[in-house]
Chains A and B, each alone.
Chain A
Amino acid sequence: MSGELSSKDLVDMPTALELPSAQPPVKVAPPTVSGAGRQRGDRAGGVLNVFSHGILAVWGLLVTLPLLWAAMSSLKTDREIFTSPWSLPSSLHFQNWSDAWNTANMGRYFLNSAVVVAGSLFGTMLLGAMAAYVLARFEFRGNRFIYYLFVGGMSFPIVLALVPLYFVLQNMEMLNTKHGLILVYIAYSLPFTVFFLTSFFKTLPTSVAEAAMIDGASHTRTFFQVMLPMAKPGLISIGIFNFLGQWNQYMLPYVLNQGEEKDKLLPQGLVELAVSQGYKGNWAVLFSGLLIAMIPVLAVYIIFQRQVQAGLTAGSLK
Chain B
Amino acid sequence: MRHGKYGFIVGFLALPLAIYAVFVISPFVQAIYYSFTNWSGLSSDLQMVGFDNYRKLLDDDVFWHALRNNLVLLLVLPLVTLGMGLFFAFMLNVGGRRKGAVVSGVRGSSLYKVVYFFPQVLSIAIVALIFQFAYNPNSGALNSFLSGIGLDSVQPNWLGDPSLALWCVMAVMVWSNVGFYVVLFSAAMSTIPRDFYEAALLDGANRFTTFFRITLPLLWDTVQTGWVYMGILALDAFAVVQIMTVGPGGPDYSTEVLTWFVYTKGIRDGQAGYATALGVALLIVTMIFAAIVMRLGRRERLEF
Contacts and interface: CB of A to CB of B under 8 A. Distances in A.
Interface stretch (B47-55, B72-80, B99-107, B157-165): B99-107
A131 B13 contact: yes
A204 interface: no
Interface string B17-58: 101101111111011001000000100000000000000000
Interface residues of A, number: 117
Given A7-B204, A63-B118, A187-B19, A247 B27 contact: no
Interface in A255-309: 255, 266-268, 270-271, 274, 283, 286-287, 290, 293-294, 297-298, 301-302, 305, 308-309
Contacts of A155: 286, 290
B16 to A, nearest CB: 4
Interface in B239-293: 239, 242-243, 258-259, 262-263, 266-267, 272, 275-276, 279-280, 282-283, 286, 290
Interface size bracket, B side: 35 or more
Contacts of A81: 139
A256 B167 CA distance: 29
A247 B41 CA distance: 29
A56 B106 CA distance: 10
A118 interface: no
A153 B266 CA distance: 22
B205 A134 contact: no
30 contacts: A8-B204, A19-B206, A21-B201, A49-B95, A56-B92, A56-B106, A66-B130, A67-B118, A149-B20, A150-B20, A157-B279, A157-B282, A157-B286, A159-B258, A159-B263, A162-B259, A164-B27, A165-B23, A165-B27, A168-B22, A168-B30, A183-B19, A186-B19, A218-B8, A254-B238, A267-B123, A267-B124, A268-B125, A287-B133, A305-B114
Interface of B: 4-6, 8-9, 11-13, 15-17, 19-20, 22-28, 30-31, 34, 41, 84, 88, 91-92, 94-100, 102-104, 106-108, 112-126, 129-134, 138-141, 144-145, 148, 175, 178-180, 183-184, 187-188, 198, 200-207, 209-210, 213, 221-222, 225-226, 229, 232, 235-236, 238-239, 242-243, 258-259, 262-263, 266-267, 272, 275-276, 279-280, 282-283, 286, 290
